[in-house]
Structure 1
Amino acid sequence: MSVRKGAPALLSAGTLCAALLLTGCAGPAVPSAPAPTTATADGARPRPGPPGGGGSVPAPESRLPGVGPVTRASVPAGTSQVLLVTGATPDSNTSTATLHVRDRTGRWKAQAGPWPAHNALRGWTADHDAGDLRTPIGVFRLGDAGGRLPDPGTRLPYDQDEQFAVSGTGFAGEPLEGSFDHVIAIDYNRVPGRTPLDKERPLGAEKGGGIWVHVDHGGPTQACVSLDRAAMRELLRALDPARQPVVVMGPATELAR
């Protein structure tokens, strides 16, 4: 049974992150492969982006912390909400995620986080391929959500479906059950405005897909980004389609370009 909430949103085009749904982000360890050039939130070529303050809500900054001019140029002009996911190195599988919002004066401030996160087992890539065990670097739209559990109160279209159920173990032998209780589709190699379960891959199946932000299972992913359950639910409730949210993600050195 599937319950799709909300009207589909449009934007750029973008493995299913579901370990058992496709080549997902949370499957058991397997040999890796290369990776695709990430499409940006506005259909242009991809680029990086970092994190920033959280809880204590620091003073607003005129620019996203750690984001250089190349990456900044890929953030759509109409976007005023950015999930910044930054890895320490190109090969690290742990990262930090912070949600930033831009005010009417154009200054950015942390809205939620920072949260600890996991990304792919082998780190990051600017040219993702299915099975390479690396997370795409770039700027990507966040517009569609779903999960096995009911909508926790997001303004994004939300698809509740039993197909989000997953089992098995991750790279560290940790259980994957519950990883897809809540997910947000990252618009990499996908058709915007559809359930995260949709399997159409505009760039071709070899370039991977089904890359999500989902509930953390305690270890590296295959290509997705994962947050602990409380952070995931907080993020879902905070994202506002009217702000044209995107994720800016990659290693710190790339995002600073």
Structure 2
Amino acid sequence: MSVPRRPPALLAAPLLALVLLLTGCSSDPAPAKAPVGAPGRGAAGPESDAAPARRASSGQDAGPAPGRSPAPAPTAIPGLGPETLAKIPAETRQVFVVTGEDADANRSSAILYSREDPVEGWKPTAGPWDAHNGMKGWTDHHVAGDLRSPTGVYTLTDAGGRLPDPGALLPYDEHPRFAVDGEGFFGEPLEGSFDYVVAINYNRTEGVSPLDRTRPLGLERGGGIWIHVDHGGPTQGCVSVPEDRMRELLRTLDPALHPLIVMGDAETLGR
């Protein structure tokens, strides 16, 4: 079912079961349809540093000119290894890094980095913030109902929530269907969890409401993986941060800077 980009808030809030079916904390058991793409597009990373010039006479590295210091290397994002960094496109200027304590942990830390000058590299601009992820930790092959968050690098293009737009730079869909109630894994109330959300482009179509249920990889691979308001406990696959941090994130993520999320356990992201 496709949801209009800016539907009027006329519908009554659905029951929890319907909301969870439509969200990242959901399980979609229907048969898969043929994939049309993979999550985390843009595997081409930043251009590598040019090879140092060679001395024509000796074949040795030329080194810095006399009296000059070598140029400092651009600042990398701490904790991200070469394989992970290579998946960040050159045009990306904002990266939201969510690092899990370990592969089976449901607690994580989130930091927003920006890169205004490619020569200077990445700088932290917000965080670290306490965050939650899937109840059973992380996985590099997420399937519906596994209670794990998918590791990887994914673009961020669409936002929404039950509450009015707080000043988001990404397209924002205010809709009553983001309402939720009930209890989490440890009895914590879920109400307000989807007051603000940012869709993580895992197994979804970019440029539509987070409520859209199109699953390019098939329903069995799960979907509706979001960044949303933390309810004080682990999620069914989403990433959650405190409400004030969600508002800050929505006001900061800029589509002109091609923002994306890098998410996973520390060991995986360090590769």
Question: Structure 1 length as normaliser, TM-score?
Answer: 0.81
Q: Give the alignment of 1:75-94 within 5 angstroms.
A: 75-94=88-107
Q: 2:174 aligns with which of 157, 160, 164?
A: 160
Aligned to 2:184: 170
Q: How many residues align?
A: 222
Q: Is residue 208 of structure 1 aligned with residue 210 of structure 2? A: no
Report the Cα distance in structure 2 between the residues aligned to 1:95 and 1:234, rounded to whole angstroms.
18
C-alpha contact 2:25 2:224 (8 A) present in aligned 1:
no
Report the Cα distance in structure 2 between the residues aligned to 1:102 and 1:131, rounded to whole angstroms.
36
- Matched position secondary structure for 1:117: strand
Task: From the superposition, tell whether residues 3 and 70 of structure 1 become closer, same or farther in structure 2 (CA, over 3 Å).
Answer: closer
C-alpha contact 2:23 2:211 (8 A) present in aligned 1:
no
Task: From the superposition, tell whether residues 72 and 3 of structure 1 become closer, same or farther in structure 2 (CA, over 3 Å).
Answer: closer
Q: Is residue 20 of structure 1 aligned with residue 28 of structure 2? A: no
Aligned to 2:113: 100
Aligned to 1:252: 266
Aligned to 1:128: 142
Deviation of 1:77 after TM superposition, in Å, equals: 1.2
- Matched position secondary structure for 2:19: coil
Deviation string 1:93-123 (CA, Å, 9 cap, x unpaired) is: 0000000001212411111111000000000
> Identity of counterpart residues, as a percentage?
57
- Matched position secondary structure for 1:116: strand
Deviation of 1:3 after TM superposition, in Å, equals: 7.2
Deviation of 1:24 after TM superposition, in Å, equals: 3.8
Q: Is residue 65 of structure 1 aligned with residue 64 of structure 2? A: no
| RMSD of Structure 2 on Structure 1 (CA) | 2.4
Q: Is residue 223 of structure 1 aligned with residue 222 of structure 2? A: no
Deviation of 1:61 after TM superposition, in Å, equals: 6.1
Gaps of 5+ in 1: 6-17, 28-36, 46-59
Aligned to 2:211: 197
Deviation string 1:26-69 (CA, Å, 9 cap, x unpaired) is: 57xxxxxxxxx972132x59xxxxxxxxxxxxxx9611111000
Whichever structure has more strand as a proportion of its residues is 1
Deviation of 1:202 after TM superposition, in Å, equals: 0.3
Report the Cα distance in structure 2 between the residues aligned to 1:210 and 1:160, rounded to whole angstroms.
16
**For residue 244 of structure 1, what is the amino acid of its counterpart?**
H
C-alpha contact 1:213 1:225 (8 A) present in aligned 2:
yes
Question: Structure 2 length as normaliser, TM-score?
Answer: 0.77
**For residue 39 of structure 1, what is the amino acid of its counterpart?**
P
C-alpha contact 2:19 2:178 (8 A) present in aligned 1:
no
**For residue 147 of structure 1, what is the amino acid of its counterpart?**
G
Q: 1:4 aligns with which of 3, 6, 27?
A: 6
Report the Cα distance in structure 1 between the residues aligned to 2:202 and 2:25, rounded to whole angstroms.
17
- Matched position secondary structure for 2:123: strand
Question: Comparing 101-110 with 204-213, which one deviates more in the overlay?
Answer: 101-110
